[in-house]
Structure 1
Amino acid sequence: MTITTLDSTTALIVIDLQAGTLGGPTAHPAGEIVARAAELLAAFRAQGRLVVLANVDGTPAGRTQYGEGAREFPAAFSALVPELGQQPGDVTLTRATWSAFAGTDLDAILTERGITQIVLAGIATSFGVESTARDAYDRGYSVALAIDAITDRSADAHDASVARVFPALGQTGSAAEVIALLG
């Protein structure tokens, strides 16, 4: 469903726009994704709305086809890109999971501030963004996804999430549409 409204208590959560995740190939030009996320950040900050910057510094302990157990990423991998213009009032969450909720105090932060809706942007569509959207939906938040401020390593994975998963979790629209709804 196309995004139709934003609650007055909407927060922006930007997922993993950091040196390491942007260092590889992406389905959509990384610079464009970062630029749109920066536009969203500026609009949310201008209205005094909550901004959350989430980065990842490792992996959980579970074994996968990609490797055994937990591992830590180098600090340079986890560094948020400067284009985000990180501000002292931003909430920054560092995690070793796909979802920004898992293993962090994000839910408590949102609840304490009366947040009822989140807008998501970032990378990777089918990993961190989708996992955070699923967690938010399961916790009762309204979810909106700025589709042109999200990308994945794989165009097929991105398209599958956008077409099949996101409509069941919330509303989608462009960064410009989200900004217009901020008023």
Structure 2
Amino acid sequence: MTITALDSRTALVLIDLQKGIVRLPTAHPADAVVSKAAELAAAFRKQGLPVVLVHVTFAADGGDALKPRADHPRPPMTLPADFADFAEELQLQDSDIVVTKHHWSAFYGTDLELHLRRRGITGIVLGGISTSVGVESTAREAHDRAFNVTIASDALTDLHLPSHEHSLTQIFPRLAEVGTTEEILAVLAANHLQPA
């Protein structure tokens, strides 16, 4: 697993690093994941590259949540008022793109692709929670849309370690280049960005 290059027009897309999710019991400490994501966000902003912060939330009546029979049943619940607020360490900026989703993928039912295409983005770096759900779903759809995908392996985690490891070792290598935050930052710093 290594990063060979990033496109010159690459966006950082961070999935569900929000207060209501980072408080969940994850396979790796969520604060470490958020810290790595924040490092990436700062570096992308410094390079003038887009940072996309994606969060998930639902209407009070749950009417905008998908309810397929195959999905795990969700008990009725009231979300905390800060459920969808981004983790403070990400330091949301006015220049950041905020995408609100209502299901797993950041592409499904959102304007994410519109934001990326209009900015000439050809590649994305992904991180977030959870690896096997929101991040993997987004990676699959990005790949299907011909974006070059890079996965920040230490800027993501899952609620279940086996699910995280399966995505990281079996699924992502077929869809993306996979490497650490340090490797991605090194490519950015060295300016080894590939023309779109």
TM-score, normalised via structure 1 length: 0.94
Question: d(CA) in 2 for partners of 1:22 and 1:124?
Answer: 10
Name the aligned partner's letter for residue 136 of structure 1: A
Name the aligned partner's letter for residue 90 of structure 1: D
Any idea what the Cα deviations from partners look like across 1:27-66, whole Å, max 9, x if unmatched?
Answer: 1111110100000000000011000000000332323453
Which residue of 2 is the match for residue 142 of structure 1? 148
Query: How many residues end up aligned between the 2 structures?
Result: 183
Which residue of 1 is the match for residue 26 of structure 2? 26
Secondary structure, counterpart of 1:77 in structure 2? coil
Aligned-residue CA RMSD (Å)? 1.8
Which residue of 1 is the match for residue 193 of structure 2? none
Structure 2: give runs of 5+ residues left out of the alignment: 59-64, 190-196
Any idea what the Cα deviations from partners look like across 1:141-179, whole Å, max 9, x if unmatched?
Answer: 000000000100111000000010000101000001101
Task: Say yes or no: does 1:122 pair with 2:128.
Answer: yes
> Structure 1 residues 65, 118: closer, same or farther in 2, change over 3 A?
closer
Name the aligned partner's letter for residue 25 of structure 1: P
Larger Rg: 2
* Correspondence 1:72-151 to 2 at 5 A: 73-151=79-157
* Correspondence 1:44-63 to 2 at 5 A: 44-58=44-58, 59-63=65-69
Name the aligned partner's letter for residue 143 of structure 2: Y
Question: d(CA) in 2 for partners of 1:87 and 1:72?
Answer: 28
Q: Is the CA contact 1:123–1:152 (under 8 Å) kept in the aligned structure 2? A: yes
Superposed displacement of residue 12, structure 1 = 0.1
Any idea what the Cα deviations from partners look like across 1:88-144, whole Å, max 9, x if unmatched?
Answer: 000001111101001111111111110000000110000000000000000000000
Superposed displacement of residue 17, structure 1 = 0.5
Question: d(CA) in 1 for partners of 2:104 and 2:92?
Answer: 21
Identity of aligned residues (%): 49
> Structure 1 residues 140, 157: closer, same or farther in 2, change over 3 A?
same
Superposed displacement of residue 24, structure 1 = 1.4
Question: d(CA) in 2 for partners of 1:110 and 1:131?
Answer: 17
> Structure 1 residues 114, 61: closer, same or farther in 2, change over 3 A?
same
